[in-house]
Chain A
Amino acid sequence: MGILSLMLAIPAIAAILCVFSGDRLARFVALGATLVNFILGLLLWARFEVGGAQWQFVERADIFGRFQYALGIDGIALMLILLSVFLMPLCILASWQAVKKQVGLFMAMFLLMETIVIGVFAAQDLILFYIFFEAALIPMYFIIGIWGGDNRKYAAFKFFLYTLLGSVLMLIAIIAMIHSAGTSDITVLLNHDFPKDMQFWLWLAFFASLAVKMPMFPVHTWLPDAHVQAPTAGSMILAGVLLKMGSYGFIRFLMPMFPDASADLMWLVFILSMIAVVYTSLVAFVQSDMKKLIAYSSVAHMAIVTAGLFAFNQQGLEGAMIIMLSHGVVSAALFFCVGVIYDRLHTREINRYGGLAQNMPAYAVFFLLFTMASIGLPGTSGFVGEFLSLLGVYEASSIVALICATGIILGAAYMLYLYRRVVFGDLTKDDVKAMTDLNAREWAIMVPLAAVALWMGIYPENFLAPIRDDVAAVVERLAEAKPAGDAQLAMPQVNLETATAQIAAPVQGAE
């Protein structure tokens, strides 16, 4: 049994144990299993040969007949699996006291979720991938629906049906791909050239599914509802890992498998990304609910990811990958920050807080760090990703880069505005005064998150090195299809001298 199979099996077995054990035991079983998986994840990272074979830790077993139980990871999958196993124990800790009813079932759902997300990133067979991809709906449906807020049923339904409708179209595309290529092996399909007309339809079907998962404008509306209603740990995992399944789909399937269609339709992605960055940032600005604000900021960040991916160059793709990782850590941390004060005051209304810097200094420091990381301050993880992807986008199209950069400015505005209202100001309200600073358990969650956010910001090479070759492979695959010279959306090329001459000419004539 390979290490990846072990990582799939441990949470699944622990999930079954959790269902049958009491509340207290279930918490420890879940924490233990996720920690073991985290250690296995680190082992995976340590043993991963940078610059070695593209697919490592490959396992294949022909037990399903029609499709293979095929696992294997490249650098991209490795990083996303690491993100998942890193966040999972923190999520379990975050819900240690917040979840009071049906604890065993809650822990079981989280553990199943861990199996599923690792499966999504490690699957090397298209059908296996789809099974994991869709399966993620079920535990999340329960997590939102059972342990969520007041409007949880509506949010759970919306989440389930919205994402299901997107995914089923992808299933038809997958069937058509298997029929056309004669295999469901992802490693083979990555180098299979589908006919150009077919690519167009396949691309649209995949896009429908991935754009909902991502989520992209205009199909992002399920996300704020789901986030607001989900319990803290649910939001952390939703923002941290589930959204990454969408962008992983882009980089793994959509772009390398349908390069021509990707090039033809890059304008669509750019336009949707530009709208999303500006529009959702503005929407985030006026939210009065903290979780909703962070949810909209997630949509904006994901839009920069899509723009970076569709820059079709090394910097853009690497930047997008780093934003994915950074956003996974930072948004999970921000949702946890909301969770900390929600546990104390049981409201997410921004205006109910204020002046927390005085009675919760440690909390204020961590919240500030994650706010800055979300904005993209140099030295934090957000900066590296945003800088790289905007650099990549600028090479493809300066207008898109310009508009995406505006989004970052807006992002700074709404995040700082949020921070000011919650943490600064006078400590006037009595119930807010009574709030206590972080306890040991909350420290234990905050410190690893902060450490990773800083590590990724100060020395990103550790995270970039494993993905470099795989990103290069995708870029190479796109190279033939990429629009020649400047992108379709680029500013018309202006030669500075002739331009000056042209401007000067009529003036001279007027003299």
Chain B
Amino acid sequence: MSDLFLVMPEIILAVGAMVTLMIGTFLGDRRVGAYQISALVTLAAAISAVAAVYGTNATAFSGTIGIDNFGNFAKYLIYGASFVCIMIAPRFFKAEMRGEYPVLIVLAALGMGIMVASRDMMTLYIGLELNSLAAYVLASFMRSDDRSSEAGLKYFVLGALASGMLLYGVSLLYGFTGSTQFADIGAALSSDISIGEIFGLIFVLSGLAFKISAVPFHMWTPDVYEGAPTPVTTFFASAPKVAAMALMTRVAIDAMGPAMGAWQQIVIFLALASIILGAVGAIGQKNIKRLLAYSSINNVGFMLIGLATGTQAGVEAILFYLLVYVVTTLGAFLVVLQLTDSDGNRVESIPALAGLSERRPGLAAALAVFLFSLAGIPPLFGFWPKFLVFEAAVNAGLVPLAVAGIAASVIGAFYYIAVIKTMYFDDKSDVEITGQGSVMDNAMLTASALWLSVIGYVFIPVLGVATASAAAVLF
């Protein structure tokens, strides 16, 4: 197959982004319907292009890009999440909605598609930067809002620092192994590991840990999540998490697999620190977006347990976890988007949710499902990926890690059920939450909540095959 056919999804995205930009420019920012549809069609076309190449296992452009099930699985999630994030935007931005928003999301999705398909440090970096640059602009999308500008600046400064660390690590690895391609780096690392290679490896991992917001590289997350406009936060919490986590997994297994002894301890530390700090840090939070930011840190910790095993079962668990996490996060933010009071102001404070169960029983029930699912309490489907992660850890002999992780998950459960307590047990607050979602919003909300309640378990066989075939690529 020709190289161009293999990267068809990315070509579609690039062209589609330009077309959408043109539509936005020539028809004007007020023609929301026109550029929304263009962006959505672009993403839908990209998803079907991924489906067309699904199952192939080939490299393109002299081995710098790899098309395989692992990347394709991640692309489904990334493009799907981007699709949802474009759909929910107009109701939030209202008059401030501009054509740049869908364009930037599509460009970020393109960057992420390149990230998860890369088999070379340079491709990786290009994808990462394309995604990050789009993300910086998105974070400060509401120019008139101080918090949004602050979030954008913070994200940019710290993101640039992380990119620098990553590049430095890449240059060290290149210097000591003589290649930027994952396969060659892996081959070079399989013999003795020099101190320079270890340095390179640590810097690369640190740069990537920043992108997935693992502790101790998480500081930007709560501020950016809180400050960015909610649809953008929804985006940050879903698609880039998938891309960065998939990328980190590929780099760790593909390029650094032979040096697992050198990075396993680091990943274990990142995992436990993220789980514990993500849980403890969330306890005092009064803002629902900050809380969800800590929750994402906490969940990344559980995914990293899967990575720490370095086994195929661990990678399968990560992919499964990403899927369930994305659905849950999108659902939770769909709820947050509907939280407005009668004057149309955004409600983000958790105490204001008191009595939500009586004012908006459906919304409260959906949020309760998402939170219990994030906490991993069965029978909600969020339990299953946690089970897979711990199973991978126990089977790989990392029983103490599994025990520590699962004990810390109880701390996490505390703040999730605290929000549920506010919604269901506390007396009604003064804030009257009247916001309504569109029919599509409510349909997506209902579908995700139902899927996460118990229906998801029926999908285990199908998803198990998909994740297994995706994970098998790396081994």
* Complex Cα spacing A157 to B418, Å: 8
- Judge whether B421 is part of the interface by a CB distance below 8 angstroms: yes
Asked whether A164 is an interface residue with its Cβ less than 8 Å from the other chain, the reply is yes
Does A176 have its Cβ within 8 Å of any Cβ on chain B?
yes
A171–B406 touching, CB < 8 Å = yes
Q: A145 on the interface (CB 8 Å rule)?
A: yes
Q: Which of A141, A145, A172 contacts B403 (CB 8 A)?
A: A172
Given known A65-B461, A175-B394, A176-B394, contact A146–B413 (CB-CB < 8 A): no
Interface string of B401-420 (1 = CB under 8 A from A): 01100110110011001101
A141 touches B399 (CB 8 A): no
Question: Out of A64, A132, A168, A176, which one reaches B460, CB within 8 Å?
Answer: A64
B413: contacting residue among A105, A164, A169, A176, CB under 8 A: A164
- Asked if A153 lies at the interface with its beta carbon under 8 angstroms from chain B, I say yes
Contact status B407-A168, CB under 8 Å? yes
Partner of A134, one of B358, B378, B420, B426: B378
Query: Are B417's CB and A160's CB within 8 A?
Result: yes
Q: Nearest residue in A to B424 (C-beta to C-beta)?
A: A146
Instruction: Report yes or no: B379 in contact with A169, Cβ–Cβ below 8 A.
Output: no
Task: Tell me the chain A residues, 123-172 only, with Cβ under 8 Å from chain B.
Answer: 127, 130-132, 134-135, 137-138, 141-142, 145-146, 152-153, 156-157, 160-161, 164-165, 168-169, 171-172
In chain A, positions 149-204 with a C-beta closer than 8 Å to chain B are: 152-153, 156-157, 160-161, 164-165, 168-169, 171-172, 175-176, 178-179
Instruction: Tell me the complex Cα distance, A66–B377, Å.
Output: 18
What residues on B are CB-neighbors of A175 within 8 Å?
387, 390-391, 394-395, 402
Q: Is A288 an interface residue (CB 8 A)?
A: no
B414 touches A161 (CB 8 A): yes
A424 to chain B, nearest CB (A): 39
Picked from B379, B413, B461, the residue with its CB within 8 Å of the CB of A132 is B379
**Nearest residue, chain A, Cβ from B422:** A153
A63 contacts chain B at the CB level, 8 A cutoff: yes
A351 close to chain B: CB less than 8 A? no
Pick the contact of A65: B390, B395, B403, B460 (CB < 8 A). B460
Contact B394 A179 (CB under 8 A): yes
Q: Which chain B residue shows the least CB distance to A165? A: B410
Q: What's the minimum C-beta distance from B464 to chain A, rounded to whole angstroms?
A: 5
A102 at interface by CB-CB < 8 Å = yes
B391 touches A64 (CB 8 A): no
A15 to chain B, nearest CB (A): 12
B379 touches A157 (CB 8 A): no
Known: A65-B460, A153-B421, A171-B390. A135 touches B378 (CB 8 A): yes
Residue of A nearest to B426 (CB): A153
Q: Tell me, in angstroms, the Cα distance from A445 to B114 when the chains sit together.
A: 67
Which residues on A sit within 8 Å (CB–CB) of B387?
127, 171, 175
Question: Are B425 and A145 in touch, CB under 8 angstroms?
Answer: yes
Contact B464 A138 (CB under 8 A): no
Residue B390 contacts which of A105, A137, A172 (CB distance < 8 angstroms)? Answer: A172
Contact indicator A169/B403 (Cβ below 8 Å): yes
Point out the residue from A137, A146, A172 that lies within 8 Å of B394, measured CB to CB.
A172
The bracket for how many chain A residues form the interface is: 20 to 34
Contacts of B391 in A (CB 8 A): 175, 178-179
Beta-carbon nearest neighbor of A131 in chain B: B378
Nearest-neighbour CB distance to chain A for B428, whole angstroms, equals 12
Nearest A-chain residue to B457, judged by Cβ: A64
Quick check: B402 and A130 within 8 Å, CB to CB?
no
Residues of B within 8 A of A145 (CB): 421, 424-425
Alpha-carbon distance between A102 and B414 when the two chains are bound, in angstroms: 25
Within 8 Å CB of B168, what residues of A? none
Q: In whole angstroms, how far apart are the Cα atoms of A55 and B250 in the complex?
A: 47
Q: Confirm or deny: B195 has a beta carbon within 8 angstroms of a beta carbon on chain A.
A: no
Contact A146 B407 (CB under 8 A): no
Which A residues are CB-close (under 8 A) to B141?
none
A15–B420 Cα distance when bound, in Å, is 20
Closest to B391 in A: A175
Residue interface bits B442-475, CB-to-A below 8 A is 1, else 0: 0000000000000001101100100000000000
Which of B357, B358, B378, B395 is the one whose CB lies under 8 Å from A179?
B395
Contacts of A141 in B (CB 8 A): 417, 420
Query: Which residue of chain A lies nearest to B462 when distances are taken between CB atoms in the complex?
Result: A65
Which A residues touch B414, using CB under 8 A? 157, 161
**Cβ distance B219 to chain A, nearest Cβ, rounded Å:** 28
Say whether B425 contacts A156, CB under 8 Å: yes
A160–B406 touching, CB < 8 Å: no
Find out whether the CB atom of B358 lies under 8 angstroms from the CB atom of A102: yes
> Which residues from A are CB-within-8-Å of B377?
134-135, 137-138, 164
User: Is the pair B378, A65 in contact by a Cβ cutoff of 8 Å?
Assistant: no
Question: Do B406 and A172 have beta carbons less than 8 Å apart?
Answer: yes
CB-based nearest A residue for B402: A172
Chain A proximity of B379: nearest CB distance (Å): 4
Q: Is B372 an interface residue (CB 8 A)?
A: yes
B383 within 8 A of A: yes
Closest-CB distance, A151 to chain B (whole angstroms): 11
Residues of A within 8 A of B383 (CB): 131, 134
List A residues 70-121 near B (Cβ within 8 Å). 102, 105
Contacts of A176 in B (CB 8 A): 394, 399
B379 near A66 (CB under 8 angstroms)? Answer: no
The reply to whether A168 and B409 contact each other, CB–CB distance below 8 Å, is: yes
Bound-state CA distance A211–B42 (Å) is: 57
Q: Report the Cα distance A145→B390, complex, angstroms.
A: 31
Contact A157 B378 (CB under 8 A): no
Would B378 and A66 count as touching, CB distance under 8 A?
no
CB-based nearest B residue for A132: B379
Interface residues of A in 372-427 (CB under 8 A from B): none
* Complex Cα–Cα for A130 and B406 (A): 15
B residues 372-393 touching A (CB-CB < 8 Å): 372, 377-379, 383, 387, 390-391
Q: A131 to chain B: which residues have CB within 8 Å? A: 378-379, 383
Q: Would you call A152 and B425 a contact (CB within 8 A)?
A: yes
In the bound complex, what is the Cα–Cα distance between A421 and B460 (angstroms)? 58
| Residue-wise interface mask of B (331-374) relative to A, using a CB-CB cutoff of 8 A (1 in contact, 0 not) | 00000000000000000000000000110010000000000100
The residues of A that contact B460 with a CB separation of less than 8 Å are: 64-66
**Beta-carbon nearest neighbor of B461 in chain A:** A65
Which chain A residues (199-255) contact chain B, with CB distance < 8 Å? none
Point out which of B387, B421, B425 has the most chain A C-beta atoms below 10 A from its C-beta. Answer: B425
A65 to B413, CA, bound (A): 27
Q: Which of B407, B418, B421 is the one whose CB lies under 8 Å from A165?
A: B407
Once the chains bind, are A157 and B399 in contact (CB under 8 Å)?
no
C-alpha spacing A153/B357, complex, angstroms: 15
Q: Check if A168 sits within 8 Å of B379, measured CB to CB.
A: no
Chain A residues in 8 Å Cβ range of B464: 65-66
CB distance from B412 to the nearest CB of A (A): 10
A490 to B357 alpha-carbon distance, docked (Å): 57
Residues A130 and B378 in contact, CB atoms below 8 Å apart: yes
A100 to chain B, nearest CB (A): 13
Question: In the assembly, what is the distance between CA of A102 and CA of B355, in Å?
Answer: 12
- Residues of A near B409 (CB, < 8 A) are 168
Min C-beta distance of A195 to chain B, whole Å: 15
Complex CA–CA separation, A115 to B270 (angstroms): 40
Q: Which residue of B lies closest to A134 (CB)?
A: B378
Inter-chain CA distance A153–B378, complex, in Å, is 22
Q: Is the CB of B424 within 8 A of A169?
A: no
> How near does chain B come to A211, taking the closest CB pair, in angstroms?
16
Q: State whether B372 touches A172 (Cβ < 8 A).
A: no
Q: Identify the B interface with A (CB < 8 A).
A: 357-358, 361, 372, 377-379, 383, 387, 390-391, 394-395, 399, 402-403, 406-407, 409-410, 413-414, 417-418, 420-421, 424-426, 457-458, 460-461, 464
17 contacts between A and B (CB under 8 A): A65-B460, A65-B464, A131-B378, A131-B379, A132-B379, A134-B378, A141-B417, A141-B420, A152-B425, A157-B414, A157-B418, A168-B406, A171-B406, A172-B390, A172-B403, A175-B391, A178-B391
The 3 closest A-B pairs by CB, nearest first: A65-B461, A131-B378, A65-B460
**Could you list 10 further interchain pairs (A-B, Cβ under 8 angstroms) beyond the known A65-B464, A141-B417, A146-B425?**
A63-B461, A130-B378, A131-B378, A131-B383, A134-B378, A135-B378, A168-B406, A168-B407, A172-B394, A179-B394
